[in-house]
């Protein structure tokens, strides 16, 4: 099956409509806010957003105000995919009975509500095969509730529940492979993206909406207070995550892996890490082994993706 041509070839091609309004209470330089705005540039018609509790929800829906100019449903931390799948099936019933125009349904959740708390609901929705798009905006910790570690927090990162101390220098586990787990459900489309590459992200959202069945997009969205960097550095850090191979940009369409942004000459991982407070301790001599382990994990993941792409195997 051939992939459709990109819907948008340049930034100027993006719709001028702003379905995500300004005036919300997100932090200056908020990565997830950028992701939300870009996501809504890709909608193709009537769309319902399902958003669980998290940074985006608490900062964009302070009663009686809302930043959402499309139908929006706030639900519990753990059931975004369940509610989205229920809405999809309700819409299908209305379509059969009344001939109503179909709506696209997008679940938009953070890493805490995806990798951990909402993981069971997501797995169930993917297994059942509902025609919905699930987008995880990943800032790599539970930022809304105090910067606690999540399944998306990388090895060595300091959080309030994995602090960098003398005994334990930050989180001791690797980041969970969300896309790999999603693909294991046999879904037609899954992809990663970054807010630093807006056309890649917007085109993937549109592409996913045009594919029948459950789809998952994992977008990297840096957090100023959680990562510890100046507000002006959000997009630069998101780009460095790609350029150092820390966050590979790829897609898996009907089981075939394709790396969308080749990084043949990566920048040193230290360039991405050194401006973030959460990784400052890794540059102390006593924590050199953690830094080396993180660098090894990054390279192993990149090499794995390259081999999967080159082999042409179907996952």
pLDDT in tens, 125-172: 999 999 999 999 999 999 999 999 999 999 999 999 999 999 999 999
Contacts of 248 (CB under 8 A, 6+ apart): 192, 242, 259, 261, 263, 301, 302, 305
- Mean pLDDT rounded to a whole number for the chain: 96
With a cut of 80, say whether residue 1 has pLDDT above it. no
Predicted model pTM: 0.97
Q: Could you read off the pLDDT of 32-50 as tens digits, one per residue?
A: 999 999 999 999 999 999 9
pLDDT at 98 over 90: no
pLDDT score, position 40: 98
Quote the strand ranges of 22-67, DSSP E.
47-52
Architecture of domain 13-311 in this structure: 3-Layer(aba) Sandwich (3.40)
Split at pLDDT 50, 70, 90, the class of 4 is: low
Beta-sheet strand order (sheet of 104-110): 72-75, 47-52, 104-110, 133-138, 215-220, 189-194, 250-253, 256-259
Quick one: average pLDDT of 69-83? 97
């Amino acid at each position: 099956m051939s992939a459709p041509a990109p819907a948008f070839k340049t930034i100027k091609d993006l719709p001028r409509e702003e379905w995500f309004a300004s005036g919300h209470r997100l932090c200056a330089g908020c990565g997830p806010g950028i992701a939300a705005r870009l996501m809504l540039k890709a909608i193709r018609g009537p769309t319902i957003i399902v958003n669980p509790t998290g940074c985006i929800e608490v900062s964009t829906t302070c009663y009686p105000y809302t930043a959402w100019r499309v139908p929006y449903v706030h639900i519990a931390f753990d059931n975004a995919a369940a509610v989205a799948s229920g809405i999809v099936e309700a819409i299908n019933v209305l379509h059969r009975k009344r001939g109503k125009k179909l709506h696209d349904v997008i679940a938009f959740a953070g890493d805490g509500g995806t990798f951990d708390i909402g993981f069971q609901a997501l797995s169930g929705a993917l297994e059942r095969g509902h025609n919905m798009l699930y987008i995880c905006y990943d800032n790599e910790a539970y930022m809304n509730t105090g910067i606690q570690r999540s399944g998306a927090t990388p090895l060595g990162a300091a959080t309030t529940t994995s602090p960098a101390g003398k005994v334990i220098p930050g989180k001791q586990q690797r980041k969970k492979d969300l896309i790999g787990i999603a693909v294991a459900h046999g879904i037609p489309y899954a992809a990663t993206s970054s807010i630093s590459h807006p056309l890649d992200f917007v085109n993937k959202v549109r592409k996913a909406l045009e594919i029948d069945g459950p789809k998952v997009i994992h977008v990297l969205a840096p957090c100023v207070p959680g990562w510890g960097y100046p507000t002006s550095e959000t997009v630069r850090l998101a780009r460095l995550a790609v350029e150092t191979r820390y966050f590979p940009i790829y897609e898996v369409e009907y089981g075939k892996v394709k790396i969308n942004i080749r990084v043949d000459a990566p920048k040193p991982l230290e360039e991405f890490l050194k401006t973030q407070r959460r990784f400052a301790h890794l540059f102390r001599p006593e924590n050199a082994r953690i830094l080396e382990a993180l660098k090894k994990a990054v390279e192993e993941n990149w090499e794995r993706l390259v081999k999967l792409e080159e082999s042409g195997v179907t996952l």
